[in-house]
Amino acid sequence: MAKSSADDQELRRACEAAIEGTKQSVVMSIRVAKSRGIWGKTHKLGRDMAKPRVLALSVKSKGQKTKAFLRVLKYSTGGVLEGFDNLRSQSVAPPQWTMRNIDDRNRLLLCILNICKDALGHLPKVVGIDVVEMALWAKENTPAVTNQGNMQEGPAASTVTERDLKVTVEKELVSQAEEEDMEALLGTYVMGIGEAEAFSERLKRELLALEAANVHAILESEPLIDEVLQGLDAATNCVDDMDEWLGIFNVKLRHMREDIESIETRNNKLEMQSVNNRALIEELDKLLLGLRVPSEYAACLTGGLFDEARMLQNVEACEWLAGALRSLEVPNLDPIYANMRAVKEKRAELEKLKSTFVRRASEFLRNYFSSLVEFMISDKSYFSQRGQLKRPDHADLRYKCRTYARLLQHLKSLDKNCLGPLRKAYCDSLNLLLRREAREFANELRASTKASRNPTVWLEASAGSGQNVNAADTSTVSEAYAKMLTIFIPLLVDESSFFAHFMCFEVPALVPPGGTANGDKSDDTNDDDLGIMDIDDNDSKAGKNSGELAALNESLQNLLDGIQEDFYAVVDWAYKIDPLRCISMHGITERYLSGQKADAAGFVRLLLGDLESRISMQFSRFVDEACHQIERNERNVRQMGVLSYIPRFATLATRMEQYIQGQSRDLVDQAYTKFVSIMFVTLEKIAQTEPKYADLFLLENYAAFQNSLYDLANVVPTLAKFYHQASEAYEQACTRHISMIIYYQFERLFQFARRIEDLMYTIPPEEIPFQLGLAKMDLRKMLKSSLSGLDKSITAMYKKLQKNMTSEELLPSLWDKCKKEFLDKYESFAQLVAKIYPTETIPTVVEMRDLLASM
């Protein structure tokens, strides 16, 4: 028999701990599984899943009376056993406890029967248990069956013998008559084992007899069932009566509840109506108060002056009017009120006041701006005069304009379209003032600047190079241009910034108040950029708007239109004095341009860009004229090439490098490229028209270019590139010219060698002496005619090299190249002779080298 939980002493002690305080002793404890299904059936969703439970048999003795208890214990949190779980819902099947195996079931039944016999004195009637099976099981498991002890001895267990168990099971559980019937039945079963079919038929008959006996038992219990049914009918009638009464009560309660809800709804509506009436009265009072125009504001809006003394009243009236108009617009005004006749009439009245006030204020401001500028123009002390340069000062102008800055902001809030004519009027007036200031300043600047004029044509053939070297100092010209920019560019930037914020453009501040445009501090203590950022702190949220910026740039173009002509006049004047000053002016403009921001001073950037383009155009004009000098004198330079222009170009390049002051090299490098390219192209054209002397004057011109530009090429990358290009062209021309002289003097010698080299590609070397014209006799004749009087031939070659050469300083290096080239060719010839004509003797290479060295 398998080990049972009934033998677990720890389980028994846990059960005793669970019922501690009841004075009961545990006789037997055994684990079972709990489920809620009907025997032999299962439930869905896992509701019949077994839950661990413990069945405990306990007894309690009180005098001669003994009580037995069957308890069901469950495991709580922490694995502690606790009392029986009550059945809370009658709608579910009652719980069932299933033994884990047949042995546990039989042991529990035996224990219960023994306790009943000891406590009651007789065995209870047992239904549904096969006593034969119980007897057989007890007989087979006698050694493992434990006696739980009698009720007086407590839970101590003792082992019983097979004989005691037999007496207990066979004599106490079964009566004598039943035992005899059972033995007879078992005897018949033993006798029928060999006859399967007869045994089966017999079992069927006995089963039918048992079923008939059960039916008889049911019939005997019919009176009891009738009584139960009568009781159920009576209870059903009572329940029906109660249900009818409950229905009546529910109807009455529902009617009472509906009456209560109706009363509460009416009360809520009355209360809400009262609150709404109070709120409506308050709103109407506020609306009526807002529809009234204060008398002090009505006078300012319909008449009165706009002088400085009354500006505060005008601004307050404008603020009130703007607020009143906003209060009559949705969402500030409830949409319900928007269509009221009184509101519409009041809105129309305020619109008339707005139109009148905006018209009057705009007309006043236009006249005011114009009168301010006319007053300044009429006073000559504001402008530069003969012998005195006057820095423009707009501090007083801005101060007076600033008085009306808040008024402009409120006018914009009332009507944005009114600012257009005002902006144009301000731009036109200020443009007149700026153009007058720039023109007077530029005229006096040119008149007060003393500088000697340098030649505008640096590469003129008639001009000597010494004239270029001793060119006059014209730095005052570029200083005058720089002063023009230093004075007017910050002024224009400040005016652009002031105009942008004074006229309420939604763009960020160009420079902080009191700052300068290019980051340099001015020496003018009166330069007072009043700024507009502090006019209204609430306007600091204005952000960059592309549409506003486009309108601003358009207005700035009108504001600054025509001023560029005075700057152009200074540039043209400087160009006439010294064209090379365009380089320094270009650098000055470039520095100012890099310091400007692409915001409210956008048109100032355009002005600087136009100045830069103007300077580049003038300098390009100078370069083009210099290049045209070379092209116009091409016929005159056919004999000399460009030798006369190279030193003047070197002087010009040296001067140009002096004018570069930390600026980009694009302008100068482009000029270098154009100058050198036109010179090289001219050389190639001459070489094509005079092929006889092409290599000679090419090498002379390229050599002169290298000699003149050597120092500059070490520091100027662009000139270094052309220097290397000239060096390669010089080497190629030298090689061609020297080869021509050598072949001219020793033509038969090297033609003979060339014929041998050509034949070596087709026939073996040993057959060459037998070819026509290449026999040994032909070799001797050729050597005699070519090498006899060798010193005279070499002298003639030297004279040929010297002939027509204008640059005598190149002759030594060319003669060295010529001797080296001749020795290389003669060495190749000697090797051919040694290979083809091994028996013939010719002057050795060493002898030839010594001969050349001695001459």
Instruction: Dihedral sign for Cα 459, 465, 468, 469, please.
Output: positive
Q: Distance between CA 697 and CA 713 in Å, rounded?
A: 22
Ranking 244-248, 654-658, 698-702, 771-775 by mean pLDDT, the lowest is 771-775
Neighbour tally for 252: CB within 10 Å: 10
More confident residue, 513 or 676: 676
Neighbour tally for 564: CB within 10 Å: 16
pLDDT attached to residue 572: 93
pLDDT attached to residue 483: 93
pLDDT tens digits, one per residue of 771-822 = 888 888 888 888 887 787 777 888 888 888 888 777 778 888 888 888 888 8
**Contact (Cβ atoms closer than 8 angstroms) between residue 815 and residue 795:** no
Q: Distance between CA 226 and CA 236 in Å, rounded?
A: 15
Q: Helix H segments across 121-221?
A: 131-140, 162-166, 176-191, 196-220
pLDDT attached to residue 147: 45
pLDDT attached to residue 84: 60
Q: Distance between CA 242 and CA 240 in Å, rounded?
A: 5
pLDDT attached to residue 283: 76
Phi, psi angle pair for 3, to nearest 5° = -65, 135
Does the pLDDT value for residue 260 go beyond 90? yes
**Contact (Cβ atoms closer than 8 angstroms) between residue 397 and residue 372:** yes
Question: Please, what is the end-to-end C-alpha distance for the chain in angstroms?
Answer: 138
pLDDT attached to residue 807: 77
Does the pLDDT value for residue 541 go beyond 50? no
pLDDT attached to residue 67: 84
Q: Distance between CA 297 and CA 293 in Å, rounded?
A: 7
Which of 528, 263, 583 has its CA nearest to residue 401?
Answer: 528
pLDDT attached to residue 518: 45
pLDDT tens digits, one per residue of 373-420 = 888 888 887 788 777 788 898 888 999 888 888 888 888 888 888 888
More confident residue, 638 or 815: 815
Average pLDDT, the chain: 78
More confident residue, 802 or 640: 802
Q: How many CA atoms lie within 13 A of 260 on its CB side?
A: 6
Q: Distance between CA 130 and CA 7 in Å, rounded?
A: 25
pLDDT tens digits, one per residue of 360-375 = 888 888 888 899 888 8
pLDDT attached to residue 176: 67
pLDDT tens digits, one per residue of 104-150 = 888 888 888 888 888 777 777 777 777 667 777 777 776 544 444 34
What is the pLDDT averaged over residues 608-616? 92
Distances in Å between the Cα of 259 and the Cα atoms of 256, 265, 272, 303 are 5, 10, 20, 68
Beta bridge partners of 388: 385
Look at residue 68 and give its three-state secondary structure. strand
pLDDT attached to residue 153: 41
What is the pLDDT averaged over residues 522-549? 45
Q: Distance between CA 848 and CA 258 in Å, rounded?
A: 142
- pTM beyond 0.75, yes or no: no
Ranking 177-186, 445-454, 672-681 by mean pLDDT, the lowest is 177-186
pLDDT band, residue 188 (cuts 50/70/90) = low
pLDDT tens digits, one per residue of 221-241 = 778 888 888 888 889 989 988
pLDDT band, residue 280 (cuts 50/70/90) = confident
Q: Distance between CA 855 and CA 853 in Å, rounded?
A: 6
pLDDT attached to residue 225: 83
Does the pLDDT value for residue 291 go beyond 60? yes
What's the 3-state SS for 586-602?
A: HHHHHHHHHCCCCCCCH
